[in-house]
Structure 1
């Protein structure tokens, strides 16, 4: 258990709590947290997870901008929560499956990565969940539930016990977040930036 793992754990819980509350400060907290965990995962040879933190940084920076830029519109005081249509959800799942297999195979053949396909699953579906969260889609929360379930097992096997414990907390918080966001969910939309109530939704 390292100092970085402890710091990342504290920031991770704080960041998710702020996301559940739809508080825009969750994004800058998240930027610091993923920076810390990039070093933690690199040291554990979980290279896909280390790369994931870098990509998270980019998406979180976008999410911060997107929420800030769209929180004041003619119809809403903040960016509303919306849902995906079934066809869009199917496309995301198919893309995730193909990308997981491709990246996992690449990491297995070219690196000494531990648990390459499981690690790839965490990378790919975390990116999908993070993107949907940045777009304020309700489906981000069930996505996080699945990702967190896999992550708990992977991090426990790699002796990252505090991180595994963190993801147990994340799992419970994802259930909470799903419930809280569902209370304020708006119309269904099938593509980023489009919904029945205007181009700034979702």
Structure 2
């Protein structure tokens, strides 16, 4: 099975156009930069979602293209939050990693869940999406994760982990093993991100 995954990844690289390859590489790079809490993850992410939107436009996947626009807005908002740490407390020069409260976690999950349900119903009744609830789930949880990332909430990585695990399951079922391999890489980065941000949070609490 591993050889099949590697073969399909290679086939994807051969068959994909330059824009698609660039979008994939920039996507992985952007997540890696986010793990390191680098501001460069925002401009890289903006280029990546722009390229992805162009790909979806070319394929006439207009709902997916619109989602990339929402991601772009979330990235701009996150960029502002990370570069204006004083908005979260006096004399701060860098936005710290923090956790949501128990209530905050429930609210985040509820927003994502209700959003996914309503979005899925809309796609099922008014769109031509073959998998409306899957796409709505990934979109809603992805947008909530972007909002959490803007405020450097540790739970962002759990959000991305859920999205990526769902992606692995879906692409495995349709035997797109190349995408399975890609989403496994995203899972690895999500785990690395959680560990790195948790260490950062613990160091800040010790110093404080």
Q: 1:145 aligns with which of 156, 161, 166?
A: 161
Q: What SS is found at the alignment partner of 1:114?
A: coil
1:111 and 2:94 equivalent?
no
Q: What SS is found at the alignment partner of 2:115?
A: helix
Paired position in structure 2 for 1:38: 53
Higher RCO by CA contacts (8 Å cutoff, separation 6 or greater): 1
TM-score norm. by structure 1 comes to 0.82
1:125 and 2:176 equivalent?
no
1:64 and 2:79 equivalent?
yes
| Larger of the two Rg values belongs to structure | 2
RMSD of Structure 2 on Structure 1 (CA): 2.5
Q: Structure 1: state its 5+ residue gaps.
A: 187-196, 198-202
1:166 and 2:182 equivalent?
yes
Residues 50-74 of structure 1 show CA distances to partners (whole Å, capped at 9, x for unaligned) of: 3221101001011111111227975
1:23/1:67 CA distance change after superposition, 3 Å: same
Q: Counterparts of 2:20 and 2:178 in 1: how far apart (Å)?
A: 7
TM-score norm. by structure 2 comes to 0.80
Q: Structure 2: state its 5+ residue gaps.
A: 1-15, 203-207
Q: Counterparts of 2:20 and 2:180 in 1: how far apart (Å)?
A: 11
Paired position in structure 1 for 2:97: 81
Q: Which has the higher helix share?
A: 2
